[in-house]
Amino acid sequence: MTDIISALRDICGEKHVLSGKDDRKAFDVDVYGDKIGQSLAVVRPANTQEVSKILRLADETDTPVIPQGGNTGLAGGATPTANGDQIILSLARMNAIEKINTETRTATVQAGLILQNLHDAVAKHDLIFPLIFGARGSCMIGGNISTNAGGSNVLRYGNTRALVLGLEVVLPGGRIMNLMNALYKNNTGYALKDLIIGAEGTLGVVTRAVLQLHPAPVARATALLSVSSLPAALRLLRRLQDASGGAVEAFEFMPENHIQGYQRLNPDRALPLENPGEVNILTELGATSKLLAGPGPDGRPLIEGLLEEILTNGFEAGEILDAAIAQNDSQREAFWHIRESAYEVATSDGPAIDFDVSVPLDQVGRFLTRAREVLAPIVPGMRNTIVSHLGDGNIHYGVLPENNRDGIDPALKTQVMEAVEDLVTELNGSFSAEHGIGTSKRPSMARQKDPVALDAMRAIKAALDPKGIMNPGKVLPDA
């Protein structure tokens, strides 16, 4: 082991190889703090060539490698085991924006770039990279790509896979695969780029990417609503989409107990809604055209008037019970703070059995109702934490058993997970929507994934990583 650490120092320099327990501590544990491993060392390369040398060394010495970005993942995909024989390969030093091309609306970046830094850089050119979620201040582009991250803007712009045009990937053994083009059409054989996206570092290390940018909305209209039911909320979504020509960027569902939990944690913040109900929706429309961004008769952007008109019709139909429309950026940020505090709200009552599932849009309400029915006899006195990207059917569902402060019984957790997964399968949904598989959902893969699909994945893994040293124990269940 000493020889490996010495070789890593030869590649990256002594100060960029962390082998002491205290130096490795922040890298060896996940964001929840419940997945704790022990790595041999943390190595921080400066460029693709150093990554290549590290993977060549790993191949020659049969040393497992755990790629790690901002370490914000929620499924354990970047945490080492307790064996103490794995290298964590941190991309943190590879954080440059190499080029922003305003003509093609693309950005060429390194994998260690923090997402918020990309947002800030492209905003200077009136552009956006529309990947938005709470961890954007610390997560990295490479991790976003490796998990095919989603977030609040998927409804309009798609998951990460829809935003990546090109990749550079270092494969096991150190070979560098160059897929770095900015093409929208490239029909030259297998879609290797799409294979790497979402593979969670099990097939190679993403080092650089070409990302698709979009014009920044010239005007936005943001509202927080109390709606009579989930079906009424989906009817409202359709009306907003039709009237705005697809300008709805976010449509987020928060039940009443989320609002109550937020108020408990933020007593000094005024709640925009006087009467939040069981179904509360945060919606945002973005106008990129002069037509919708231009002033209406009252001087406000037309898109604000459009939103207000549709909400007025909803009030008259009895489907909207209360509403607040943001009048400025400060109010908009206050609305979003309620939604983006989901992690703090969800963890404030102790550990939960968490799910990141997706179902067809018209089955969201059925899932929530049936889940309570199915779990009631399994978890007496059950409480829930729920938020949902309602526009794309993604539900973050947490189950809090009674007396959970001291932890959750593993047998109970397995029973709950199996019950929820069976329900999701019954509704033609997915047990993993946007957080990846990591270690948390490997049992789910074994139980729920099509066996033929698993065989195909194992064949791909064996072909690209015959020694099985790239992020071992993640994504694929044992055969």
Report the percentage of the chain scoring pLDDT > 90: 90
Mean pLDDT of 453-478: 97
Mean pLDDT of 189-200: 97
Q: What is the model's pLDDT at position 434? A: 94
pLDDT digit string, tens, across residues 211-241: 999 999 999 999 999 999 999 999 999 999 9
Tell me the residue type at 420.
V
Find out whether 207 and 169 touch, Cβ atoms under 8 Å: yes
Is the pLDDT at 21 greater than 80? The verdict is yes
pLDDT digit string, tens, across residues 115-148: 999 999 999 999 999 999 989 999 999 999 999 9
Please tell me if the domain spanning 2-90 has the same topology as the one spanning 219-342.
no
> Model's pTM, two decimal places?
0.94
Strand partners, 43: 17, 89
pLDDT digit string, tens, across residues 450-460: 999 999 999 99
Is the pLDDT at 421 greater than 80? The verdict is yes
How many C-beta atoms lie closer than 10 Å to residue 171's C-beta? 18
Which pLDDT band holds residue 1 (cuts at 50, 70, 90)?
low
The CATH architecture to which 219-342 belongs is 2-Layer Sandwich (3.30)
Backbone angles phi, psi at 364, to 5 degrees: -60, -50
Alpha-carbon dihedral angle through residues 468, 463, 205, 15, given to the nearest 10 degrees: 40
Find out whether 420 and 375 touch, Cβ atoms under 8 Å: yes
Q: What is the model's pLDDT at position 2? A: 67
Ranked by mean pLDDT, the top range of 22-26, 36-40, 165-169 is 165-169
Reported CATH class of domain 97-215 = alpha beta
Q: What is the model's pLDDT at position 189? A: 95
CA distance 440 to 30: 12
Reported CATH class of domain 2-90 = alpha beta
How many C-beta atoms lie closer than 10 Å to residue 94's C-beta? 24
Tell which CATH classification among 3.30.70.2740, 1.10.1060.10, 3.30.1490.20, 3.40.800.20 matches the domain 349-433.
Answer: 3.30.70.2740
Report the percentage of the chain scoring pLDDT > 70: 100
Which pLDDT band holds residue 191 (cuts at 50, 70, 90)?
very high
Q: What is the model's pLDDT at position 298? A: 82
Give me the residue spans of the domains in the chain. 2-90, 97-215, 219-342, 349-433
